[in-house]
Amino acid sequence: MKRDHREISGATDYSSGSGSRADSSSIGNSIKGKLWEEDRDAGGMDELLAVLGYRVRSSDMADVAQKLEMLEMVMGTAQEDGISHLSSDTVHYNPSDLSGWVQSMLTELNGPPTPNLDPVLADSDFNSSNPQHRQRNQSRVFHDDSEYDLRAIPGVAAYPPPKSDPDSDSTRKRVKTSMSSSGSDGDGSGSSFSSPQENGIPGTVTESSTRPVVLVDSQETGVRLVHTLMACAEAVQQDNLKLADALVKHVGLLAASQTGAMRKVATYFAEALARRIYRIFPQDSLDPSYTDILQMHFYETCPYLKFAHFTANQAILEAFATASRVHVIDFGLKQGMQWPALMQALALRPGGPPAFRLTGIGPPQLDNTDALQQVGWKLAQLADTIGIEFEFRGFVANSLADLEAEMLEIRPPEVEVVAVNSVFELHRLLARPGGFEKVISSIKAMKPKILTVVEQEANHNGPVFLDRFTEALHYYSSLFDSLEGSGSGVAPPSQDLAMSELYLGRQICNVVACEGMERVERHEPLSQWRSRMETAGFSAVHLGSNAYKQASMLLALFAGGDGYRVDENNGCLMLGWHTRPLIATSAWRLATTELDKSI
Amino acid sequence: MVQNHHRGCHRQGNHETVGESKEKRPKFFINDHVDILIEILKRLDCRSLCVAASVCRLWCTIARNDSLWENLCFRHASPPPTSVRSVVLALGGYKRLYMGCVRPVRRRLGRARRASWAGDEVQLSLSLFCVDYYERLGGSNSNGRLVVGESSPSSSLMFLCKPVNV
């Protein structure tokens, strides 16, 4: 019987064996279960418990084991007495607070705990931070402790198991069932020790347990996945990189048991966290043409970019209502997908089309091809087809802040009406101090009739990493959900979908892994942009009902259109998935005070 | 032809020759009156028009005429300004506009459609049509001439092709 081996200390070969067996349990909730397993698998228990973080003297081990055994028997009798909730409830315990846990168990069962149990537990050298842990937020599943080394974490991190067990969440339930089975057997010793061996092997417990075992409860795994992600982020925030590393690997395990959007989001976030931990930062501007391709797929898969383009175009169209020459400055030309629709609308304008001039700004290409010129060429061909006078100019700039208004050859407002368009570009300027202000002053020098801004509706620019992480997790979960929804059930996951997800994944990586100037995805919510714009001297232009109508129709076209929502927010339009707004379009013009200043 | 058979029935199933009919009463053969035929075909819906196109060569030629499809596009909307025609023809024609954009848009919006949307549907379809043309433009080849891909549907309209989960 395993119990006899308990007396043996220093049997190191056991540690690896039981360690691998212990891997089957997941971190947070089944630490308690692991405790049972570790104890029963015995061997060099002093070392084993030390691995867990409990410094228990070998000489005390026998007592501790005895107490635990008593507890188990009590639990078993409780089961017979019908207090079955104790063996079936899912509860979270602080794994390092062993005495507290034991106390609470015994209190529930027997009233005041047996006196001989306490002194043993009080005497043994438990982790010195224990009382400190107790005072901390008890709802935490486990605690940050710098004394933990990697082996402290059961799971893949320590000893990669020969067969990975994605159904780790059910282990705890299995442990409970094993206890209950032992209870119903009435045999406190035998079956309770035999079943933990089976715990290491998924699925076999079902035969030995007397209660039906819930296998994978993916919702619970999902919750656990989120908790683990959050815990990892917190560990990173507190610079506890070892713990974070272990947790990140665990996230990978948990994510494997999920499907769909949750899995993908978790995978991307885990990768980003791993990059942050190991300091392998992704290069942001690796290949602009690659990001363009990804964005094209994103454009085709889901309505966000189309929504952005159509609503911005509507605002620009209304601003251009009576002009005979118009000039649009696009801060991020990319493939120029926004402009065909505007050109067509201008061509069909009552009163005839104006002369259309487009200035496109883009990043430098790595292979020295002039991508901007190619786009301009295509647009010129389109303009020729539909009969619009067209002029194009491309500007290559590393950052918008490098631009000066004079470079763009703005013509006076009597001759030409100017519109400035920025789709997902302004937030990048926040990475560099003073960048945004410089660009705003250049925009003011251009004297635009209208400035259209489309930005993500999220707060990914807070000072605290953990807050950013939480926000990003919620935001990208909604985004990925909507991607799933739009392609759901129609065709096997297409390349488009994968590329769109990759496009978003790169954003996730930037938000989580990068810092300083590298972190360019500094999304801010509409309210913050509003205050920035108003401080800078712009006043809002309401996007009329036409824009709203067009946006609603556009969304209705998309499969999964029921999930998308257009909301109007003080004249700005927001597109969201179910209740969560995801992107916001707003339009601005120079406030009259600014106009007076310029005159 | 319908009229032909109709008259034939009156004749006790006697299949009449052309010569006989000319003696007895003037025969009305729709294919002789193409303008009436066009007027009739103009009022058909998309499916009937496609079926009609497989009746005979004359009907096929007429059904391919873009003006019929123009009527289909603007059937429930107010008549468009004249400038639309030149733009649409330049972008690929009304048949393409209808089959590629207007029909899927109307079908998709059918559930959620409101009366005021009819004109806007065409507007939206036009915009999407234009984007589609632009995407099919492709890059310039070495001669500097632009290649317009006719056959492959561009991906920007793929979302319209995917069936919607009802």
Whole-angstrom distance, CA of residue A346 vs CA of residue A337: 16
Whether the CB of B70 is below 8 Å from some CB of chain A: the reply is no
In angstroms, the Cα distances linking A271 to A243, A281, A470, B118 are 16, 11, 16, 48
Q: How confident is the model at residue A400 (pLDDT cuts 50, 70, 90)?
A: confident
What is chain A's Cα-based Rg? Answer: 31
CA-nearest of A585, A561, A295 to A456 is: A585
Residue from the list B120, B121, B137 with its beta carbon closest to the beta carbon of A381: B137
| Span B106-134, average pLDDT | 77
CB contact under 8 A, B121 and A549: no
* A255: nearest Cα among A136, A168, A325, A371: A168
Give the residue on A whose Cα is nearest the Cα of B105: A557
A chain contacts of residue B130, beta-carbon cutoff 8 Å:
340-341, 343-344, 382, 386
Angstrom distance (rounded) from CA A495 to CA A487? 11
3-state secondary structure of A581: strand
pLDDT at A323 over 60: yes
Show Cβ contacts of residue A327 under 8 Å, excluding neighbours closer than 6 positions.
A357, A358, A359, A410, A411, A416, A417, A418, A419
What is the C-alpha separation between A12 and B43, in angstroms, rounded? 89
Range list of H helices, A53-151: 58-81, 85-88, 98-110, 117-123, 130-135
pLDDT 10s digits, A35-51: 444 444 444 456 666 66
Distance (Å, whole) CA A254 – CA A551: 38
Query: Under an 8 A CB cutoff, do A341 and B146 touch?
Result: no
Whether residues B87 and A348 touch (CB distance < 8 A) is answered with yes
Return the pLDDT at A250: 87
Q: Is the pLDDT of residue A12 over 80?
A: no
Question: Residues A436-482: pLDDT tens digits?
Answer: 999 999 999 988 999 999 999 999 988 899 999 999 999 999 999 88
pLDDT at A568 exceeding the cut of 70: yes
Q: For A275-291, what is each residue's pLDDT tens digit?
A: 888 888 766 555 777 88
Contact B134 A386 (CB under 8 A): no
**Which range has the top average pLDDT, A48-57, A149-158, A430-439, A589-598?**
A430-439
Which segment, A89-98, A195-204, A463-472, B98-107, is predicted with the most confidence on average? A463-472
Query: In angstroms, rounded to a whole number, what is the distance separating the alpha carbons of residues A425 and A410?
Result: 21
| Token couple for A405 | 């208004």
Which residues from A are below 8 Å from B163, CB to CB?
A: 490, 559
pLDDT at A311 (0 to 100): 93
In angstroms, the first-to-last Cα distance of chain B is 41
Contacts of A487 in chain B (CB under 8 A): 162
CB contact, 8 Å: B126 with chain A?
Answer: yes
How far, rounded to the nearest angstrom, does the alpha carbon of residue A157 sit from its chain's CA centroid?
Answer: 22
Phi, psi of A324 (to 5 degrees): -105, -20
pLDDT tens-place string over residues A202-219:
333 334 445 554 455 667
Which of A228, A232, A261 minimizes the C-alpha distance to A245? A232
- How close B15 comes to chain A (CA, Å)? 53
B85 vs chain A: nearest CA distance in angstroms?
10
User: What's the pLDDT score for residue A439?
Assistant: 92
pLDDT per residue as tens digits for the range A371-386: 889 899 999 999 999 8
Give the helix/strand (H/E) hosting A341. Answer: helix A339-347
Per-residue pLDDT, A597: 60
- DSSP letters, A359-423, are EEEEPPPTT---HHHHHHHHHHHHHHHHT--EEEEEEE-SSGGG--GGGGTPPPTTT-EEEEEEE
**Per-residue pLDDT at A555 exceeds 80:** yes
Q: Is A293 on the interface with B (CB under 8 A)?
A: no
- Flag if A382 and B137 touch (Cβ within 8 Å): yes
Residue A440 pLDDT: 92
Judge: B87–A343 Cβ closer than 8 Å, yes or no. Answer: no
Tokens of A194: 């035999």
- Contacts of residue A331, Cβ cutoff 8 Å, sequence gap at least 6: A361, A400, A420, A421, A422, A423, A425, A426
| B165: closest CA of chain A, how far (Å) | 7
Chain A CB contacts of B121 below 8 Å: 553
Is the CB of residue B147 less than 8 Å away from at least one CB of chain A?
A: no
Who wins on pLDDT, A148 or A516? A516
A vs B, Cβ pairs < 8 A, gives 110
Using an 8 Å CB-CB cutoff, list chain B residues near A486.
Answer: 159
User: How many whole angstroms separate alpha carbon A495 and alpha carbon A506?
Assistant: 16
ipTM of the complex: 0.73
What's the rounded Cα separation, in Å, for the pair B72 and B50? 12
- Distance between CA atoms of A63 and A487, rounded to whole angstroms? 60
**For residues A340 and A52, what is the distance between their CA atoms, to the nearest angstrom?**
63
Write out pLDDT tens, residues A326-344. Answer: 999 999 888 899 999 999 9
Of B108, B158, B164, the CB nearest to A300: B158
Q: What is the mean pLDDT of residues A96-120?
A: 55
Decide: A45 and A64 in contact? Cβ < 8 Å.
no
Rounded to a whole number of angstroms, the CA Rg of chain B reads 21
Contact B127/A344, CB-based, under 8 Å? Answer: yes
**Does the pLDDT at position A63 exceed 50?**
yes
Q: How far apart, in whole angstroms, are the C-alpha atoms of residue A287 and residue A352?
A: 40
Q: Do B134 and A300 touch (CB under 8 A)?
A: no
Q: Give yes or no for a contact between A27 and A252, defined as CB atoms under 8 angstroms apart.
A: no
**A364: pLDDT confidence band, cut at 50, 70 and 90?**
confident
Q: Which residues contact B72 (CB under 8 A, 6 or more apart)?
A: B45, B46, B49, B94, B98, B102
Residues of chain A contacting residue B114, judged by C-beta atoms under 8 Å apart: none
Element (H, E) at A454: strand A450-456
Inter-chain CB proximity B112 and A350 less than 8 Å? no
Which chain A positions have a beta carbon within 8 Å of B109's beta carbon? 553, 556-557
pLDDT tier for residue A94 given thresholds of 50, 70 and 90: low
Query: pLDDT-derived band of residue A148, with 50, 70 and 90 as boundaries?
Result: very low
pLDDT band at A310 (very low <50, low <70, confident <90, very high): very high
Residue B22, C-beta contacts closer than 8 angstroms, at least 6 positions apart: none
Chain B residue with minimum CA distance to A341: B127
- Using the beta-carbon criterion (under 8 Å), do A489 and B165 form an inter-chain contact? yes
Question: Does residue A68 surpass a pLDDT of 60?
Answer: yes
Quick one: pLDDT at residue A390?
A: 94
Specify the higher pLDDT residue, B75 or A313: A313
Strand, coil or helix: A430: helix
